Each structure stands twice: as C-alpha cells, then as structure tokens.
C-alpha cells in the first residue's frame, strides 16, 4: 500500500502522478472505485495489475470484484495502449454514411484490427458506438480530437500527420 | 465595437472551428482590430460548421457558414474592418437566406441559449435571465407548488420513457428517507442522438438550474451528473460551470442566501450503454458493474445508496427553468393532447442539413425531414427514418405525415427515444440496419437475463446469415419468435426493446428480407456479399485507374480498351467504383 508520507514527498518533488493524488485524496467516500480506475488508466494508459492491488487494499474491495468492474466497462483496458488512440465511430449515422469504408482504410493502412495496437506502438484502434457528432458523419476521434466529414483519403492524410508528428519528436 | 462569436462545440471543432478561431484571434492581434472575440456553443446548424457570427454596432447579427481560416481573414478585413459583409458566405442575417427555413418551424426552449451565449461564462447566462427561475422558486414557491407547476406543464421525461416528470418528482417527494438524491442522466448512449452533448456544451448552466429546482422540490441536497466518457468537452464545461456557480454561492450551502443546500458532483461513465437505464446507472455511480435490477422498488423509493432518488435526463432538466419563468400554460400551449412542449431532434444520416432542431410536438416527420432538414442528400429518394436508436425502429417514408408525439410514434413500433432521427435513402438496406442495431444491443447486453444475452445473439446470427446470402425459409418466423420471447422475458428496457429494429423493418419492409432470403439479392445494393461489380464496356475509357486501385488484381484490360472484372477473384471492396471517373463501374 502506498504510504501517505511517500505521496506527500512525491507531491513536494512535483513528480507525483495523477493516480497517486487521487489515491491520496480518497477518504473512504462511497462509489470511488470507478474514478480511481479512471485515474489509474489516465496515468498508465491502461490498468496494470499493481494498480488493481493498490486500489483493492485502499478501498477494501477484493481484486476479483474489481476485475469484474473493469471488464464490464468498455473504457477500461488491461493491456498497454498505443501512443495515439483512434476511436472510430460506428453509430447509426456514421454507419449509414459508410463508416465501414473508413474502418477498412484504417485497418488496411495500419494493418491492425479493432482493439489492436500497431507493432510500433503508435496507434490503438477501437470501434465505438457513437461519438455524438452524427451531423458530421463519418467521424473518428484521435485521442481527444474529433474529426468529421471524413473520406478514405482524408483519413490517410490524418494518419500521416500523426505519424509525422511522432517522427518529429511530437 | 463588433462582437465575433465562433461556435466551438464538438461539432464545430471537428469541422475545424478551432483553427478558424485561432485565425481570427491572430488577425485581431496582427492588425490591432477593435473587436470582441468570444466562443459559443452550437446553434444547431451543424451542417454549416464552422460557424462565425459577427454582431455589428447596431446589434445586427450576421452568421457565416463553413468558415475556413482563409475565409475568416476575408471576413475580418471586409466585414469587421470595412463594414462590408461578405454576402455569399452568409447563412443567416437581416437579409433572407435559403437557410432561414431551417429555423422557421423551430421553437427553442431547451436550445434557447445554444450558440448565443458563451457557455464558459456564468455572467452571460445570468444576463439572459439565467438563475432567475431558481430564485423565483426559493422566494415564493413551496416544493409542492413547484411539482404542481411541472405536472401542469405536461413535461414528460425526454430520455425515452416519456413518464410525466411532475408525477415522478412527487413520488420522490412523498417517499420517506433521511436523505434524497437527484441524478442527471447525461449518458446519452443512443447512437444518432447528440442533443444532450450539445446542450451541456452550449448551455450547461440551464441544466444545473433545472437540477437545483428539482432538488428543492424533492428535498434533495446532493445531485449527481452521470456523463458519458465519450464527451470530454461537455464534462470540462460542466466542471467549469459548477466551479463558477459555487464561487457565486449558487451552489453549496445556503444557495442564494436561502436555507437550502445543494451540491453537484460529476460522475464520468466508463462506457456501457446499459447505464442509461436508471437502476444500472445507479449501480454504476455506486462503483459497481452497471447491471439493471428488477423494479419495483423504483428509484423514487429506493435509489442511490438505497435512498429515494429522482433521475431525469439533460433535456428534461433544461426545460424546467423556462417552465418556471413562463408558466406551465405557455409550455403546454405547444404540442398535442398527450405530448406537451417541444422536443429536440438530432438530424443525421442521409439528410441535407444535419443538426439539432427543436420543434413543437405534433410536427410531422415530413416537415422535419424536408422543411427543416432540406430533404435527402444528392437528390436521392427518402426511404425511412430511424427513431429511438437501438430501442426504436424504422418508420417508412410512406408514413411521413405522421405527427410526432409519444403515442403516435409508439403505435408504429418505434419509440420517441431521446430524439435521434437518422434519415435513410434508397441506398440503405433495411436488413443491414436491423443487423447493425442487433449487433449493438448484443454487444451492450449486460448478460443478466438469459433471453437478452442469448436471444439477441441468435437473432444476430440469423440476420448475418441473411445478409451473407445464406438465409433460409423459416428465418423470418424464427426472428419473430425470438423477438417475442426476448421482449417478454427480460427485466430492463434494453432487452424489452432490443427486437424493435427487427420487428419494425419486418413490418414495413418485408419484401427486402424476402429478396435477401429467396433471391439472394439486396434491393438497396448495399450488402457486399450479395453484390457483383462489373464494367460497362461502352463507358470505360481504358484509363487503367481501376486496375491499379484493385487490391485483388481482379481487373484486366489494356490501355484505351474496355476493362473487365474477374468476379471469381473480386473481393467486392468497391475501390474500382470509387476510383472510376467515368461512372463505368456498376454494382449489381
């Protein structure tokens, strides 16, 4: 279990992670499990086993039950993610406006299927139900940016942009 | 001084509005222009994003559509500096424009401030009369009177169920419990619906104010907003708004100097459609797997942490302050006998003008699709609208004169749902649509009820086999049988409504199922397994473009001679059709 002193010291050194702060703030309030898992995922990009054990000790919920919660929600990952997370929308409006062609372009281009990560660790692809940008369909989200009115060509350009950004150290 | 507003909702940003905003900011700094630059939400004209509004010294408003950074520069130089509006890019101004019809049949209550005020500024919300309704209530209404006003207005829950909000509030008010909670359901999960996202992004305070009024009426001191993980911008604006309201004493202890306490917390969802169901949502806030439970007891008696809890969605709460200020009669003046007020619809799919439209209940489908939505894209034929998301159904174009209210929509087999309205044209295959929704509900089924967990899987398998060209006689009957069992043997809304997309398409488009099963043909030319591609010899110029594009090397032919597709090798990806500039490739 994380010692409060240790976290405070980290705090002073300004090297503490979001996750540790959340753990430190936790004071036994009810219903904190999901926010704690969310901040663990934000810190590590996924939920590592060690984080589950930490959380289990602190909130007093058995690890097995925490696994149950993690696997119930589509947001949570138990495996590391790529540097950029592509979420392709396959909601009704996107589906009607040929999101399958966009998905195919991405899977062809990156040589991965949905829920997979590229070998170089640059991209993880996820299919989601609806991003709520139906009027601009088809839509994808890369990290927290949403891109609309896409065509296969535009998607290729976008992927190139992200690849180049990485090449330049971005 | 002129004011320039840029719509920075998610829809605007994904169309490039952030770059437009930066370009205007740059221009102001470079040329030292005396103008105020502001950000605002979405006015509903998503099809024209990015939108920029210039308000001149005489308070005349000029809205420009599809403003790229380059266009923004021109607008700054011509309009803002030289007082010459750029007429050809205007979509709304003092002069008539073709886009005026988008607003003509709308009545805006929920969207009253959307695209007008800066959502990050509590001052602007207050300046438009914001937070007056809660003060009116605190100063002169008993909780019972508030409930009476809401009941008389006829407001029904806008999340899909359509239960009378006032009655729901009364149940919770009358329930015994030392603590009570209210929850705002912002887990807008229906694919095709985005009005709650837009409302939260464009006018978050109206939702907070609605929640405050409800909390007072019920006697709750704590509220939760359960927001979707996919809406980062909405969550960020809400957090900011809550901080602002706290700083002014509108939230917290003794709000507005009254003896009433009220605080709001945001809970971010973690991605589960079933959490839109109220008992599942409560389980999720409690930090558990979001699985629905049997009702009764209803949340009004036994909700969050076992205490009486009222749940309404974003749009419902956003109506409340308006009703308090304008009176229940004014609200009930809109709509039909059983459905009062207005409803926000999210128009999407094969429609010319995709966006948000708030219309009085009782308007017809045709009025929404044609008068507001501008008809179908690319001049194609209107085939159907899908209403109510995965719980709803497809209503055929032949029923376009149907009035939209809770009762009439239910009679078709669809539901009002949260108001997603996805328009389909002749190229949409209805069997594929049904399969699409079934895959969704199958995926999102929490697994508690056997009939939902396994039944939807079996239905999906039948639909997959039909669209793959392997459908059998008896499949339609089998689908109906499974649908009946699922509807009657599941405990929550997800399962009970999961078969609706299949049932409505079977009801209105049986011939499409039959064509797939008996003739192995997809009338909409959409199901790829049932398609063949060929090249019209007389239209082909022999440019070789398709042959180069073909990933399977299925196209043969010499330069300047007609090409051919080897159907045995063709993988039906459609690249040749996309590539051909002479429309020589055809789908059969």
How sure is the predictor about B567, in pLDDT bands with cuts at 50, 70 and 90? confident
Q: What is the pLDDT of residue A28?
A: 75
Q: Rounded to 10 degrees, what is the CA torsion of A98, A104, A107, A108?
A: -150
Please say whether the beta carbons of B403 and B362 come within 8 A. yes
Could you give the CA distance from residue B152 to residue B135 in angstroms, rounded to a whole number?
Answer: 20
Residue whose pair of structure tokens reads 């959502």 in the numeric block: B119
Q: What is the pLDDT of residue A13?
A: 39
Q: What is the mean pLDDT of residues B555-560?
A: 88
Cβ separation of B189 and A35 shorter than 8 Å? Answer: no
Nearest one of B530, B526, B579, A153 to B563, comparing CA atoms: B579
Can you read off the two tokens belonging to residue B54? 């210039």
Q: Does B385 touch chain A (CB under 8 A)?
A: no
Substitution target in B7, B17, B179, B194 with the highest count of A β-carbons within 10 Å is B194
User: Residue B187: CB partners within 8 Å, gap ≥ 6?
Assistant: B226, B227, B228, B269, B275, B276, B281
**B477 and B536 part of one domain:** no
Substitution target in A55, A72, A115 with the highest count of B β-carbons within 10 Å is A72
Q: Judged by CB atoms within 8 Å, which residues 185-204 of B form the interface with A?
A: 188-194, 197
Query: Is a pLDDT exceeding 90 seen at residue A110?
Result: yes
How sure is the predictor about A168, in pLDDT bands with cuts at 50, 70 and 90? low
**B504 and B410 part of one domain:** no
Q: pLDDT tens digits for B334-367? A: 999 999 999 999 999 999 999 999 999 999 999 9
Domain boundaries, chain A: 4-72, 84-167
Q: What is the pLDDT of residue A144?
A: 82
Substitution target in B7, B10, B368 with the highest count of A β-carbons within 10 Å is B10
Q: Where are the beta strands (DSSP E) in B376-440?
A: 382-387, 393-396, 420-425
Could you give the CA distance from residue B40 to residue B401 in angstroms, rounded to a whole number?
Answer: 35
Q: What is the mean pLDDT of residues B473-493?
A: 97
**B358 and B290 part of one domain:** no
Can you read off the two tokens belonging to residue B475? 């499949």
B271 vs A32, A75, A147: nearest CB? A75
Last residue of a domain, one of B398, B425, B452: B425
Q: Which residues of A touch B284 (CB under 8 A)?
A: 34
Can you read off the two tokens belonging to residue B99? 């886009």
Q: pLDDT tens digits for B517-533? A: 999 999 999 898 898 89
Q: Which CATH superfamily is domain A84-167 in?
A: Glutaredoxin (3.40.30.10)
Can you read off the two tokens belonging to residue B297? 């007891």
Cβ separation of B191 and A33 shorter than 8 Å? Answer: no
**B178 and B133 part of one domain:** yes
Could you give the CA distance from residue A140 to residue B362 in angstroms, rounded to a whole number?
Answer: 35
User: Residue B378: CB partners within 8 Å, gap ≥ 6?
Assistant: none
Cβ separation of A147 and B272 shorter than 8 Å? Answer: no
Q: Compute the residue count for chain B.
A: 588
B348 vs A37, A129, A135: nearest CB? A135
Please say whether the beta carbons of B443 and B407 come within 8 A. no
Nearest one of B466, B404, B396, B403 to B425, comparing CA atoms: B396
Q: What is the mean pLDDT of residues B238-248?
A: 97
Cβ separation of A96 and B10 shorter than 8 Å? Answer: no
Q: How far is B261 from chain A (nearest CA, A)?
A: 20
A135 vs B47, B228, B428: nearest CB? B47
- Give domain status of residue B70, yes or no: yes
**B358 and B215 part of one domain:** no
- Give domain status of residue B477, yes or no: yes
Q: What is the pLDDT of residue A15?
A: 40
Mean of the per-residue pLDDT values of chain B: 95
- Work out how many CB contacts closer than 8 A connect A with B: 149
Using the 8-state DSSP alphabet, how is residue B311 labeled? E
Residue whose pair of structure tokens reads 């299925």 in the numeric block: B554
Q: What is the pLDDT of residue B471?
A: 96
Cβ separation of A136 and B349 shorter than 8 Å? Answer: no
Mean of the per-residue pLDDT values of chain A: 84
- Give domain status of residue B185, yes or no: yes
H/E stretch holding B343 reads strand B342-349
Could you give the CA distance from residue A46 to residue A78 in angstroms, rounded to a whole number?
Answer: 6
Last residue of a domain, one of B396, B425, B454: B425
Nearest one of A8, A78, A15 to A44, comparing CA atoms: A78
Query: Is a pLDDT exceeding 50 seen at residue B397?
Result: yes
Q: pLDDT tens digits for B84-126? A: 999 999 999 988 988 999 999 999 999 999 999 999 999 999 9
Query: Is a pLDDT exceeding 60 seen at residue B550?
Result: yes
Q: Rounded to 10 degrees, what is the CA torsion of B409, B410, B412, B418?
A: 50
Q: pLDDT tens digits for B171-228? A: 999 999 999 999 999 999 888 899 999 999 999 999 999 999 999 999 999 999 999 9
How sure is the predictor about B275, in pLDDT bands with cuts at 50, 70 and 90? very high
**B95 and B130 part of one domain:** no
β-partners of residue B357 are B345
> β-pairing, B342-349 with B420-425?
parallel
**B309 and B380 part of one domain:** no
**B315 and B354 part of one domain:** no
- Give domain status of residue B525, yes or no: no
Continuous H helices in B128-287? 132-140, 143-153, 165-174, 195-202, 204-218, 232-247, 278-285
- Give domain status of residue B141, yes or no: yes
Nearest one of B400, B165, B292 to B408, comparing CA atoms: B400
Q: What is the pLDDT of residue B3?
A: 96
Q: How many CB atoms lie within 10 A of CB B71?
A: 18
Cβ separation of B288 and A69 shorter than 8 Å? Answer: yes
With CA atoms as reference, the chain A residue closest to B199 would be A132
Q: What is the pLDDT of residue A18?
A: 66
Q: What is the pLDDT of residue A2?
A: 42
β-partners of residue A61 are none
Q: Which residues of B touch A130 (CB under 8 A)?
A: 189-194, 230
How sure is the predictor about A136, in pLDDT bands with cuts at 50, 70 and 90? confident
How sure is the predictor about B27, in pLDDT bands with cuts at 50, 70 and 90? very high
Query: Is a pLDDT exceeding 60 seen at residue A55?
Result: yes
A134 vs B192, B284, B424: nearest CB? B192
- Give domain status of residue B453, yes or no: yes
Please say whether the beta carbons of B249 and B257 come within 8 A. yes
Q: Which residues of B touch A33 (CB under 8 A)?
A: 287-288
Query: Is a pLDDT exceeding 90 seen at residue B37?
Result: yes
Q: What is the pLDDT of residue A3?
A: 42
**B160 and B293 part of one domain:** yes
Cβ separation of B10 and A92 shorter than 8 Å? Answer: no
**B307 and B445 part of one domain:** no
Please say whether the beta carbons of B170 and B143 come within 8 A. no
How sure is the predictor about B481, in pLDDT bands with cuts at 50, 70 and 90? very high
Q: pLDDT tens digits for B253-271? A: 999 999 999 999 999 999 8
Please say whether the beta carbons of B419 and B391 come within 8 A. no
Could you give the CA distance from residue B562 to residue B584 in angstroms, rounded to a whole number?
Answer: 10
Q: Does B66 touch chain A (CB under 8 A)?
A: no
Q: pLDDT tens digits for B413-432? A: 999 999 999 999 999 999 99
Cβ separation of B191 and A146 shorter than 8 Å? Answer: no
Q: Which residues of B touch A154 (CB under 8 A)?
A: none
Nearest one of B86, B89, B91, B134 to B115, comparing CA atoms: B91
Q: How many CB atoms lie within 10 A of CB B89?
A: 19
φ/ψ bin of B480: left (φ > 0), alpha (ψ from -120 to 50), beta (otherwise): alpha
Please tell me the total count of domains within chain B: 5
Residue B554 structural domain? 532-587
Q: Is B475 exposed, middle or buried (0-12, 13-18, 19+ CB in 10 A)?
A: middle
- Give domain status of residue B310, yes or no: yes
- Give domain status of residue B117, yes or no: no
Substitution target in B422, B428, B552 with the highest count of A β-carbons within 10 Å is B422
Q: Judged by CB atoms within 8 Å, which residues 295-314 of B form the interface with A?
A: 305
Query: Is a pLDDT exceeding 80 seen at residue A149?
Result: yes
Q: What is the mean pLDDT of residues A67-83?
A: 92
Q: How far is A165 from chain B (nearest CA, A)?
A: 18
Helix/strand/coil for B424: strand
Q: pLDDT tens digits for A3-38? A: 444 444 444 334 446 677 767 777 778 888 999 999
Cβ separation of A35 and B386 shorter than 8 Å? Answer: no
Last residue of a domain, one of B306, B331, B356: B331
**What CATH number is attached to the domain comprising B490?**
1.20.1440.230
Q: Which residues of B touch A28 (CB under 8 A)?
A: none
């Amino acid at each position: 279990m994380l010692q409060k002193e240790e976290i405070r010291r980290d705090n002073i050194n300004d090297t503490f992670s979001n996750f540790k702060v959340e753990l430190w703030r936790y004071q036994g309030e009810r219903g904190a499990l999901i926010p704690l898992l969310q901040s663990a995922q934000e810190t590590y990009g996924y939920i590592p086993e060690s984080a589950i054990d930490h959380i289990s000790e602190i909130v007093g919920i058995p690890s097995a039950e925490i696994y149950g919660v993690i696997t119930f929600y589509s947001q949570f990952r138990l495996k590391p993610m790529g540097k950029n997370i592509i979420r392709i929308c396959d909601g009704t409006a996107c589906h009607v406006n040929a999101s399958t062609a966009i998905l195919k372009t991405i899977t062809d281009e990156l040589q991965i299927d949905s829920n997979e990560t590229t070998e170089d660790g640059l991209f993880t692809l996820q299919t989601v139900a609806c991003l709520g940008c139906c009027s601009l369909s088809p839509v994808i989200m890369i990290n927290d940016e949403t891109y609309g009115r896409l065509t296969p060509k535009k998607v290729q350009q976008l992927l190139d942009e992200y690849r180049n950004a990485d090449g330049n150290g971005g | 001084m002129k004011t320039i507003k840029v719509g920075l909702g998610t829809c605007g940003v994904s169309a490039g509005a952030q770059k437009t905003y930066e370009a205007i900011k740059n221009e102001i700094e470079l040329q030292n222009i005396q103008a105020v630059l502001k950000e605002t939400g979405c006015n509903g004209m998503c099809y024209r994003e990015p939108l920029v509004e210039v308000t001149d010294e005489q308070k005349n408003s000029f809205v420009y559509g599809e403003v790229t950074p380059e266009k923004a520069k021109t607008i700054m130089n011509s309009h803002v500096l030289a007082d010459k509006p750029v007429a050809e890019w205007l979509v709304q101004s003092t002069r008539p424009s073709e886009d005026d019809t988008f607003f003509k049949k709308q009545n805006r209550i929920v969207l009253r401030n959307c695209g007008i005020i800066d959502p990050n500024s509590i001052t602007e919300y207050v300046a438009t009369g914001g937070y007056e309704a809660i003060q009116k209530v605190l100063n002169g209404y008993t909780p019972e009177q508030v409930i009476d006003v809401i009941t008389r207005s006829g407001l029904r829950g806008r999340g899909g169920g359509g239960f009378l909000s006032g009655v729901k509030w009364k149940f919770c008010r009358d329930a015994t419990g030392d603590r009570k909670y209210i929850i705002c359901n912002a887990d807008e999960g229906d694919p095709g619906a985005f009005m709650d996202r837009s409302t939260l992004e464009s006018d978050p305070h109206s939702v907070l104010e609605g929640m405050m009024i409800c909390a007072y009426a019920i006697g709750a001191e704590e509220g939760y907003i359960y927001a979707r993980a996919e809406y980062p911008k909405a969550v960020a604006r809400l957090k900011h708004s809550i901080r602002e309201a706290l700083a002014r004493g509108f939230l917290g202890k003794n709000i507005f100097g009254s003896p009433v306490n009220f605080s709001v917390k945001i809970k971010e969802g973690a991605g589960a459609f079933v959490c839109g169901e109220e008992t599942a949502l409560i389980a999720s806030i409690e930090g558990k797997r979001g699985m629905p439970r049997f009702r009764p007891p209803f949340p009004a008696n036994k909700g969050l942490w076992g205490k009486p809890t009222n749940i309404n969605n974003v749009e419902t709460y956003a109506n409340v302050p308006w009703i308090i200020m304008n009176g229940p009669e004014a609200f009930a003046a809109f709509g039909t006998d059983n459905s009062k007020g207005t409803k926000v619809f999210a128009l999407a799919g094969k429609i010319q003008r995709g966006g948000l439209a708030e219309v009085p209940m009782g308007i017809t489908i045709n009025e929404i699709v044609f008068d507001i939505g501008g008809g179908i894209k690319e001049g194609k034929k209107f085939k159907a609208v899908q209403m109510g998301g995965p719980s709803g159904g497809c209503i055929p174009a032949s029923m376009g004169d149907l009035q939209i209210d809770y009762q009439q929509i239910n009679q078709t087999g669809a539901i009002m749902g949260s108001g997603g309205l996805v328009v389909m044209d002749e190229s949409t295959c209805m069997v594929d649509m049904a399969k699409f929704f079934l895959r969704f509900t199958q995926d999102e089924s929490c697994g508690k009820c056997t009939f939902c967990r396994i039944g939807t899987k079996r239905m999906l398998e039948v639909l997959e086999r039909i669209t793959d060209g392997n459908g059998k006689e008896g499949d339609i009957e089998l689908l109906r049988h499974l649908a009946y069992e699922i509807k009657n043997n599941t405990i929550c809304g997800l399962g009970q409504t999961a078969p609706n997309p299949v049932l409505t398409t079977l009801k209105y488009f049986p011939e499409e199922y039959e064509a797939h099963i008996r003739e192995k043909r997809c009338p909409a030319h959409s199901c790829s397994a049932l398609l063949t591609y060929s090249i019209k010899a007389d239209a082909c110029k022999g440019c070789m473009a398709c042959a180069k594009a073909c990933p399977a090397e299925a196209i043969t032919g010499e330069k300047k001679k007609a090409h051919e597709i080897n159907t045995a090798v063709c993988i039906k990806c459609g690249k040749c059709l996309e590539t051909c500039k002479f429309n020589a490739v055809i789908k059969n």
